[in-house]
Amino acid sequence: MTETTKPLAGLKVVELGTLIAGPFCTRIMGEFGAEVIKVEAPDGGDPLRKWRKLYEGTSLWWYVQARNKKSVTANLKHPEGREFVRKLIAEADILVENFRPGVLEKLGLGWETLKADNPGLVMVRLSGFGQSGPYKDQPGFGAVGESMGGLRYITGFPDRPPVRTGISIGDSIAALWGAIGALMALRHKEVNGGAGQVVDVALYEAVFAMMESLVPEFDVFGFVRERTGNIMPGITPSNTHTTRDGKHVTIGANGDAIFKRFMKAIGRPDLADDPTLADNAGRDARRDEIYGLIDGWVGEHDEADVLATLAAAEVPSSRVYDIADMVADPQFIARHMFETAKLPGGKEFRLPGIVPKLSATPGGTEWIGPELGAHTDAVLAGLGYTADWIAVLRADGAI
C-alpha cells in the first residue's frame, strides 16, 4: 500500500499531546495517511511509553498508539525549542493539543499567535472542561469526564457504588469527537472557502453527548436514570446470563419478532403468542418474570448449546469475549482485525487492525510507535535547519 492510497495523504498534523485523548485523535489521522509529527519532551517523552505492559522497557500500548507517527523532541521551556515548534505548526494543516487551557498561551503558542502565522490552521483542543467556563483551569482526566458527563452514575448495579469501564473510554470518545471536528473544519475550509478555526472538545461534554435520552427524560418527567446492572433500562429482554458451565452470554431479544422466535426456541410458545408480550412496553412491565425465565433456561445449558440454539433461531447473542476469544474468532480474522508487526529486535507481535474499513482507500500501519526523537533531525532539516544548527540546539537542550 502506498501513502497516496490513503484518504488523508497530504495532510500535515502536529501533535502536542500525551497519554490518551490527543494521541488517540492523531492516531486515527495517521492510520489514514496524514503525516503526524508528535512533539515530545526530550527527557523521556510521552509517559505512555512506560504505561501498562512493557517489552524491553517500552509499553506495548505505545507501539499501537503511536503507529505511523514521527517523533520529534522539543523543549517547550527553551525559546529555541518553542521556535522550532512554532515553525512546525506554521506549515501544518491540523494541530492537536491536550494541555490544560492557558498553558500554550503562556508559552507564546496560543491560538491568536498560531493563527497569525497560519490562517488556515485547524487547532483541536482537548481538555477536561473546555476552553471556557468556570472549571476551565481545573485539571480533568477521562475519569473525571466520565463522572461529570453521566456515564459513571448509570454504570454498575443499583445496590453498589458506580463503576468504571475497563478502558479509558472518556478519553477515547473525546478523541473521536476531536477527529470528527477536525475533518468538519477542514471541509469548511476546503469546500466553503472558510478560514481555519478551533475545535474545542471537553472530555465531560464528549461523554455527555453519548447519554441518549437522559436530558429530555429528566426535563419532561423529572426522571433520573439509575444503575440497572446488565439490563438495558426500558428495553426487554436485553441482558447477560450465566450458563451451566460458568460462561457469560449476552442476549438481545428485544425486537418483537425476535422475542417470539426466542420463546419458541426455548420451549415457551405460550409466551411467544402472549398478546401482552407482543411489544416492548408489555415485556418491560413483566421484566423480572422474563429475565428469571431466561436465567433459568441459560443456566440449564452449556455455552455452546445456548449459542447454537440462539443462532438457529436468529436471536442476537454472543459470548462475552475476552482477548483469547477474539484472537481465535473467525469473524475477527476474516475482517483483518489483527495485523502483524515486528518489535525492535525482530520479535513478531499482533496489534489491532484499522477501523473503519474503507473499500477504496483503506488505512493501514506503515510502522509502529517510534523511538523518542527518531525523526527530529529529518523534520528540522525539512524546516531549513542545518546539521550544525541542529547540533547546537541539541547541545543547548532545546531539542
Positions annotated as catalytic residues are 171
Would strands 317-319 and 248-252 be described as parallel, antiparallel, or unpaired? antiparallel
User: How far, rounded to the nearest angstrom, does the alpha carbon of residue 385 sit from its chain's CA centroid?
Assistant: 36
Q: Which residue is associated with the grid cell 478502558?
A: 167
Return the amino acid letter for 201.
V
On whether the CB atoms of residues 130 and 174 are closer than 8 A, the answer is no
How far apart CA 227 and CA 154 sit, in angstroms, is: 4
Q: Report the distance separating Cα 137 and Cα 128, nearest Å.
A: 9
| Residue 55 burial (10 A CB sphere; 0-12, 13-18, 19+) | middle
Nearest-CA neighbor of 173 among 139, 197, 209? Answer: 209
Cα–Cα distance for residue pair 128/143, rounded to 1 Å: 10
* Inter-helix orientation angle 21-31/169-191, to 10°: 50
Q: Which long-range contacts (CB under 8 A, 24 or more apart) does 289-297 make?
A: 290/236, 290/237, 291/231, 291/236, 291/237, 291/239, 293/268, 294/237, 294/239, 294/241, 294/251, 294/266, 295/241, 295/242, 297/266, 297/267
